[in-house]
Chain A
Amino acid sequence: MELHPKKRLEVIVEAPALARILRFLDERGVKGYTILPAIAGSGASGRIWSREGQVGDAGRMVAIVAIMDEARLEQLFDDLYGIVSRQIGIVSISDCMVVRKDAF
């Protein structure tokens, strides 16, 4: 089976910023992404938080995962970071391999 190298962008961010990031990805033509709810975690403050302990979206976190070409990622990364840089969260990029290269 032939595999093709791609980049995996993962943004873990507070839920209220989700709509803004999705609008940005849509505007930049990112075809696909997956959104996952974060159940619980611990941040730089060392405090453990849980999704069930929140009354609204303000304290919840979500993860957005998108796989794309390196060239496309380079085009949009600075602008994406401009959107999320003031929010609570983590942005990471990693290498991955896919089977259907035209799907990303």
Chain B
Amino acid sequence: MGDILALAGSNLVSPMVLSFALGFAAALARSDLSFPEAAAKALSLYLLFAIGFKGGASVADHGLDATLVLAIAAGAALSAVIPLIAFALLQAISGLDRVNAAAVAAHYGSISIVTFVAATSALTTAGEGFEGYLVAVAAVMETPAILVALWLARAGRAGAAEPAGGTEPGLWREIALNGSIVLLTGAFLIGLATGPSGLAEISSFIIDPFKGVLCLFLLDMGLVAGRGMRTGARHLAAPVIGFGLCMPLIGAALGLAAGTAIGLSTGGIALMATLAASASYIAVPAAMRVALPEANPSIYLTLSLGVTFPFNLTVGIPLYSAAAALVSGG
């Protein structure tokens, strides 16, 4: 118990979490602090490239095994199952209509790559290793949740005509070739192809500055989350906020079970739990605006970014790491 509290305490006072807290507080205080759009985009591109490359290089160094296939299959299954649970829970407690509940459920089945990056950083700081290929699992978990959520939304209006602008081949192309997925997967493949020697060549760029860049990015995320809470909180009833705090724990429990069942390391189990606990706020909202425009973005974006993301960053990541150590005996 003492170890868990120490881990939680050190996470809370880490430069990354404090940077996020600074941004969040500045936004709530209506400070004019802001990041230029291009700078925020550049920071996110850097983080995606770095985490993908390091994951690929790690796999090249340690080799592939059957666990990789199992982990990808487990990730896809989690991404498909979690929206079903989230949808049922929302319908039971939140009073959201079917379309809004399905849209929110999609966010919780998909993942937040920033939460994943923050978790890998926390594990690295704690000296805990993890499987590099979990980057590929993260990429796989983006999409199944969207498919399930669209099915959930449309199952309630079976027989009704497909609305204008509904599902079309172009939508799936946009989701599958989402820039984040392409960069993450592409950098992973480059890291896999070039291995440790490739990593050594650019380590001064993608390893040494990594945590500093992550701090700046989380400062911006704090600003965005704080602004979202300031303007969107009135759209969130208490049961919906309760969902945003409970659903990560349910997802994490499933991730812990899946990671343990397929034999991941302690760090790998923690990351699988983090992925299952996190909620998307970039790829899925864009997909929902095209596929389910009736759903209210003030609900799903504010919930995912303003409630669940801060929860995972501050409480969730140390909790999932501690739980992973407990179940793996690590």
Contact = CB atoms under 8 A, between A and B. Distances in A.
Interface of A: 14-17, 19-20, 23, 47, 51-59, 82-88
B170 A19 contact: yes
Given A52-B37, A53-B224, A83 B289 contact: no
Contacts of B297: 58-59
Nearest to A47: B231
Q: What DSSP secondary structure best describes chain A's contact surface?
A: helix
Contact of A56 (B34, B163, B281): B281
A57 B286 contact: yes
Contacts of B311: none
Given A23-B170, A55-B281, 17 more contacts: A14-B289, A15-B286, A16-B289, A20-B165, A20-B171, A55-B282, A56-B283, A58-B282, A58-B285, A58-B297, A59-B297, A59-B301, A83-B164, A83-B165, A87-B165, A87-B289, A88-B293
B287 interface: yes
B294 interface: yes
B34 A53 contact: yes
Contacts of B164: 82-83, 85-86
B287 to A, nearest CB: 7
6 contacts: A17-B289, A53-B223, A56-B286, A57-B286, A85-B164, A86-B163
Nearest to B163: A86
Interface residues of B, number: 31
A46 to B, nearest CB: 11
Contacts of A23: 170
B201 to A, nearest CB: 32
Contact of A52 (B35, B283, B301): B35
Nearest to B171: A20
B54 interface: no
B272 interface: no
B150 interface: no
Nearest to B166: A86
B173 to A, nearest CB: 9
B290 interface: yes
Interface string B278-317: 0001110111111001100100010001000000000000
B288 A58 contact: yes
Contact of A54 (B170, B224, B283, B294): B224
Contacts of A15: 286
Contacts of B281: 55-56
A53 B227 contact: yes
B63 interface: no
A28 B223 CA distance: 42
Contacts of A47: 231
Contact of B282 (A52, A56, A82, A85): A56
10 cross-chain pairs, A with B, having the tightest CB-CB distances, nearest first? A58-B285, A56-B282, A16-B289, A82-B164, A86-B293, A16-B286, A57-B286, A55-B224, A58-B286, A16-B290
A55 B35 CA distance: 11
B305 A55 contact: yes
A20 to B, nearest CB: 6
Nearest to A83: B165
A47 B174 CA distance: 29
Contacts of A52: 34-37
Given A53-B224, A82-B164, A58 B37 contact: no
